[in-house]
Structure 1
């Protein structure tokens, strides 16, 4: 079991070349609006991002796909691939999630190949699927026989760690504050995993309107460090 966690540590590394380092997913809008100014205000923002975007969309999809693989309900992969794509209202965010998902699928298909991931990548190449990191992460974790809650926590941490490293550059924050944030969000991630496990399919897609508006406004910012 310990050896199966090493690949997840690799995927959680903010330097893993998935392309996530190019995206702020709307948080840069708050930075330019001076609603995010420092470590404390960013922690509040990232807490909202976790409890809404990650719990009700990305994280919940990761859980559903993991359970679908356990029960051999393979058609759920395409279902949630499409739902994740259409439920993202901001074009930049929708495109960003797709690019990260495709990149992650290609990398993991070479590093940790499995039948489900290969089929998913083939569907992406045939334009039958869009690609999303949460689905890829679930497939890799299932293939490595990682426990579901561990996989969920690792996926949420991978998303948050990339955003924190982007905040270090974008606000900017010091590297020490960035590491402190990685410690402080661990309790938030633990609570998010517990919340995800209590949700039903009908809960999927509930997001924060403020965050979605910030993601839409991002493409009109005069100066941008990030693609979304």
Structure 2
């Protein structure tokens, strides 16, 4: 389906909306454990944490995974698509993060079938049915963006933006910060999104990796907190 450039932009903006009903509002992605222990109490500490996540995990794992998804679709290779999807799933060490990525991805795929009835889902269905893909949120985001004719760079940076936005929205419920302060933080981090992706955009997707060890440990501890506001 050929889309008018304006329509394509609007479809993409809708996909990045934090209000998309895929369950993201229920997850802090480990941030709640940090705030519970008092490790993150200020906007400056939150900014440092998110920058660390962009550098150690989000860009190098999710960003390269989306690049791999694009390559798999271009080759019409369902096995390769499933491989990248499973590698992202396996590298999310904390159980809650694996489950949240899987659930959100399945919800996004279901939503996409309703929003885009013209979209071709044959390859992703084959990846699931014949090659055991998990349909993680990163994979499905990349798959939909490719179908929407979004360029790779925009697809990756858009996904990274939604991740940053999710952290900040979680912080609004966990920390004494206001909406204006939150938006100013997101604005500051936009340059980090672009610069971090620019550093590794030419890397092979086979090199996807994550080394956010502290975040993984805190995410593992989340399920044992005495009281929890979020599911992860």
Could you tell me which residue of structure 2 aligns to residue 131 of structure 1?
Answer: 135
Give unmatched runs, 5+ long, in structure 2. none
**1:55 aligned partner:** 59
Is 1:149 aligned to residue 137 of structure 2?
A: no
* Higher mean C-alpha deviation, range 192-201 or range 2-11: 192-201
Number of the residue aligned with 1:36: 40
Matches of 1:7 and 1:170, distance apart in 2: 31
TM-score (norm 1): 0.92
Matched, 1:186 2:190: yes
Distance in structure 2 (CA, Å) of the matches to 1:63 and 1:127:
19
Structural mapping, 1:85-104, within 5 Å: 85-104=89-108
Give me the TM-score of the superposition, normalised by structure 2: 0.90
Contact persistence 1:21–1:163 (CA under 8 A)? no
CA RMSD of aligned residues (A): 1.9
Aligned length: 227
Gaps of 5+ in 1: none
Q: Is the 8 A contact 1:104 1:136 kept in 2?
A: yes
SS at match of 1:184: helix
Tell me if 1:7 matches 2:15: no
* Preserved CA contact (<8 Å) 2:102 2:135: yes
Mapped pair 1:176 → 2:159: no
- Contact 1:100/1:132, CA 8 A, preserved across alignment: yes
Q: Is 2:70 aligned against 1:76?
A: no
